[in-house]
Structure 1
C-alpha cells in the first residue's frame, strides 16, 4: 500500500482498522511498529501476534461485541491485546490502574468481559483471586498464551455501529461510567488524522507517555498506526527518559497533558536535548494556560495543537497555537464538522461573548454509557426546534467575535455566593499573578452566610509571605462578591493520571480544615 493508495483508502467514509494494519504489515514487514521500555517489534511481528491473539480469543469463547478487559502498565503486549480484541470482533476495555479494587471490580463486571489480561504488578496488588470467575491471562505471558505461529483469526468485518472500545471515565467515587465508541466514531476521529500525516509527508514516529487506558493517548497511538508509523510506548512518564527517547528516536509526533509540558519546561537539562524532529505536539484533557502554551511554543520545535472535547464526544475545538499566538487564552474554534452552542441555565442561547453552558455536536459522538441509558440521556440536550441531540460539555465558556472559545470553568465547579456567580478560573488567574504562587485551585464550600464561598489552595515557592498575605493582596484586586474567604498552602495539588486538578479532593481538604463562616 503506497502512500497515495493509503490516503485514498483512509479517505473513505468508514473503514476497518484491522484491515488497514494488515495492509501496512504486508508492505513493510521489517519496519518497527511498536517499542516499549523492554524492546521492539516489527510490523510483520505485530500483525502475526495480533492475529494469533485474536484467534485464541475466539477459540476461548470471545463472542462478537464482547469486551476484553486489560489492566496494567502500558507496554507492547498491552497494545497487542487492545488491537487483538478489535480484530477478533470484540471490544477493547482498558481499565484504569489507579482505580480502587471496588471500582475495578465494578468496571470489569460492567464491561461484560470474560477475558482479563493483567500484568504482574496489578496481580500482586489485587491478589490471585481477583475476579477469579474470569479467564485471567498474564500480560507478560502473552506469547505463550496466543495461538501457534502463523494462525489467523476468523474473518470479521465490523459494521459501522459495532462497538470498538470502552473507555472508563475517571470518576472519583463509585464505578466510573463506561463510554462506548463505535468503529465509525473511531474511524472518523483518526483516519483523517492519519491522512493529514501522509499529506504532510510525515512518516509518524510518536511517543506516548500517558496510559493506554486513557482516551488522551489514542491520539498518538491509533492514527499513527493507521498511517503506517511507529509508536514508542512509555510505561511511566519521566522527564529525563522522555527527552532521551524523543531525541534518540527522532520523535515527530507526541501527545502530552499540561502538567507534563510544565514538568518538561521546568527540567534543568531540557535545553540540552535535540528535539528538532518534532513536527507536531498535541495537548488535551486539562486546562492549558496561555503562559505555558507561549513557553512551549518558544522552546519546543514544531506545531502545537490543543484539542478540546470530551471522551463522550460533542464539539471538537482545535487551537493551532503556532498559527494564532494571540488566541492562546482560548481552546480554538470548532473543527470542521463540529457545532457549538452556549446556553443559559434555562437552556436558552445567550448572546455572543456571554458566558454560558457549552453544548456541542459532531460526527464523533459516543454510542452511550455502557448499561446506563438514563445517564446517557442526562448528558444530552435536545434542540426543541430541530430535534437535534447535543452533548452537554460540562463547561462554562464564551465565544468571541472570531469564533474562538474561551473556557471560564466547569459548570459543576461554579460557585454561587450570595446569589452571584463566581468562576473559579477568574480567581485562580489572579492568584497566579502573585510571584510566590506556582499552582492555584479554588473551590466553593458551604457557607451559612453566603450559601457558598470561595476557598483557595496554592503551592508556593520558597517564600516568606504567608497565605493570608497573598490572599489579602489578591482580594484587593477582586470584586467584593469574588473575594476568597480562606487561602491554604499545600505541598502538591491533587491530580488525576492525566493531570486534571481533582477539585473534589480540594473540597474535602477544605472541610477537614474547617469551613469558614
Structure 2
C-alpha cells in the first residue's frame, strides 16, 4: 500500500479497493450506530459506479449531491469517483435558487439529495431555464427515486474508467448563498497530492478521524480522503454540538480530527472539558478561518496530541502549515510553506515585494485547481504568473513573512479598510478588542464615510455576565489606538453571522450597519 502512495499519480478509489481486499471487515465509515466495513464500502462503490455507467454518465460528467453527511452520501461520492464522474457537493444552507443554479452550472446528470433539501427545492419557483434532473433520495424518503432501487445489483462490477491527473474529481462552489456560482474544479492529481502528504501525520489503519464539518466543504474533504486512502476509519457527526463531540471522540478513541476555530472555541469553553479522556488523539487540525493565538495555546495546553493549522484555499496554489505543538512561539502565524509549495507576496502592480514587506499572498504547488468551471475570465483573474511563466493562484489575503519564514496574515485584501488614505487591517483592531475581559468574539468591518471614504465599526459578542456598555468599550478601545485606527461605532450583538464552516460573514455585518 505504501508503494502505491509513492507513485506520482494514483487513484484514491484504488487504495480503498486494496484495503477491502486485505481487510474487508475493518471499519471504513461510522455514522451514529451504523458502521460500513471496507468490504461493504467497496461493493457499494462498485454498485454506484456501475449504475452511473448504465445510465450513460461518462468520465468527466458530473453529479450533484446535497444532503446531510451520511454513509450513503460518502459511498455515492466515492462510487462516482471510481467511474471517473466528478462530484459537485452542494451546501444545503444555500437558497433553492442557488442550488438549482449550481447544479445547472455543473451540468449535473443526477441530483442526490435528502428530504430536507427536497422540501426547500419544492417550495421555491423553478426557473424556466432549469432543465429537469433526475433525483435520487439518499435517506429513504420520497425526495426522489430510492437509492437501493437505482443502484446496480449486488455483485456488479463497473468497467474500469480512464482517469488522468486532470480528470475532474470534484467541483466545489465558493458562492452558495448569493451571487453567481463559482465552481472550483479540482482534478484527481490535486487530490492525490493532498493524500500523499498524509504520511507525515500518522495516518494508517488504526486512524479514527472524527469529522463534524459538512462533506460539501473542502475543510472536511482534506481529511476525509487521506483517512480512507490510508485504511483508517471516518466517524461522521452530521450535526455538531460541543458536548456531543466530546462524548463521541472519547467513545470512538479518536486519533485525528478537523475542526474550524469556532468549534474549538465552543469545545474548550465546556466546563466539563477536562473530565473527558482524549488521550487517544495524535493530531488535531484546523483551517478555513482565523485561529487566534490564545485559543491555539489553550488547545495545546489542555488537549493531548499535536495541533496542525493549514492555511490555503480550496482553489489550491499553496499551503502553509503551522505545527503549533513544535513552534509554540509562532502561534500568531499560519506557519511556513509546505515542502511542495512556493508562496510569494506581490504588490498591487503584480510585482514581488522585498522580504519583510507586506503583500498579497500567491501560491504554487502540485495541488492547484484546473480553473473555475465554465468561467475562463474568472480563472484568469485568480492567476498570477512570475517572470518565468510559473503559474500561481492569488489568495486575496495580505500577509508578511517574519525573519524565520513564518507567514503572518493581516486580512483579506477586500476587507482592508482605506480611511483617509491610510490602510487599516481589521485584524489589528480585533486583536486589541479581544484584550478586554468583556469581549468574547469580535469582527471589525469598514463602512462608507463622507469624511474619510471608509471608517471602521466593530460588532462584539459579550462574555456572559458582563455589564460593560458599548459606549464604555468604544471609549476604552479608542484610547488605546492611533487616531487613524479609531472606531466610528461599536455594537453588541448576540452572535456573529457565520458560514457553515465558521467563517464570519462580514458582508452581512456591513449590510446590518447600513440598514435603517
Q: TM-score, normalised by structure 1?
A: 0.95
TM superposition shift of 1:171:
4.9
Give secondary structure in 1 for the equivalent of 2:60: coil
Return 5+ residue gaps in structure 2 as ranges.
Answer: 140-145
Partner residue in 2 for 1:246: 249
Q: Distance in 1 between matches of 2:334 and 2:344?
A: 15
8 Å contact 1:357–1:396 — kept in the other structure?
yes
Q: Is the partner of 1:82 in helix, strand or coil? A: helix
For 1:45-444, list aligned pairs within 5 A.
Answer: 45-127=40-122, 133-140=132-139, 141-194=146-199, 196-197=201-202, 203-383=206-386, 385-444=387-446
Shift of 1:197: 2.6
1:305 Cα deviation after fit: 0.3
2:467 pairs with 1:467: no
1:260-303 deviation digits (Å, cap 9, x = unpaired): 00000011221121111010001000000000000000111100
2:458 pairs, out of 456, 467, 471, with 456
SS at match of 1:446: strand
Counterparts of 1:281 and 1:83, CA distance in 2: 24
Matching of residue 512 in structure 1 with residue 515 in structure 2:
yes
Q: Is the 8 A contact 1:427 1:482 kept in 2?
A: yes
Q: Which runs of 5+ in 1 are unaligned?
A: 1-5
Change (3 A) 1:103 1:232: same
CA–CA separation in structure 2 for the residues paired with 1:57 and 1:50: 11
Is the deviation greater in 308-317 or in 144-153? 144-153
Q: Distance in 2 between matches of 1:211 and 1:148?
A: 29
Match of 1:19 among 14, 30, 40: 14
**What is the DSSP-based 3-state SS (H/G/I as helix, E as strand, rest coil) of the residue aligned with 1:144?**
helix
Q: Structure 1 191/256 Cα, relative in aligned 2: closer, same or farther at 3 Å? A: same
TM-score (norm 2): 0.95
Residues 172 and 100 of structure 1: CA distance in aligned 2, closer, same or farther (over 3 Å): closer
Q: Larger deviation: 261-270 or 412-421?
A: 261-270
Deviation by residue 1:100-135 (Cα, 9 ceiling, x = unmatched): 111101100001111000111211222289767111
Given that 2:205 and 2:232 are in contact with CA atoms closer than 8 Å, whether structure 1 keeps it comes out as no
Q: How many aligned residue pairs are there? A: 505
Whether the 8 Å CA contact 2:300–2:307 is kept in 1: the answer is: yes
Cα distance in 1, alignment partners of residues 167 and 318 from structure 2? 22
Deviation at 1:157, TM superposition (A): 3.3
Partner residue of 2:481?
A: 478
Tell which deviates more after alignment, 169-178 or 308-317. 169-178
2:361–2:397 Cα contact (<8 Å) kept: yes
After superposition, the Cα gap between the structure-2 partners of 1:435 and 1:77, relative to the gap in structure 1 and judged at 3 Å, is same
> Retained in 1: the 8 A contact 2:98–2:176?
no
User: Is 1:44 aligned to 2:46, yes or no?
Assistant: no
Determine helix, strand or coil for the equivalent of 1:48: helix
Q: Which moved more, 1:464-473 or 1:210-219?
A: 464-473
Cα deviation, residue 142, structure 1: 2.2
- Contact kept in structure 2, 1:50 and 1:81, CA below 8 Å: yes
Distance 1:494 1:196, change over 3 A: closer
Q: What root-mean-square deviation, in Å, do the aligned CA atoms of Structure 1 and Structure 2 show? A: 1.5
Tell me which moved more, 132-141 or 386-395.
Answer: 132-141
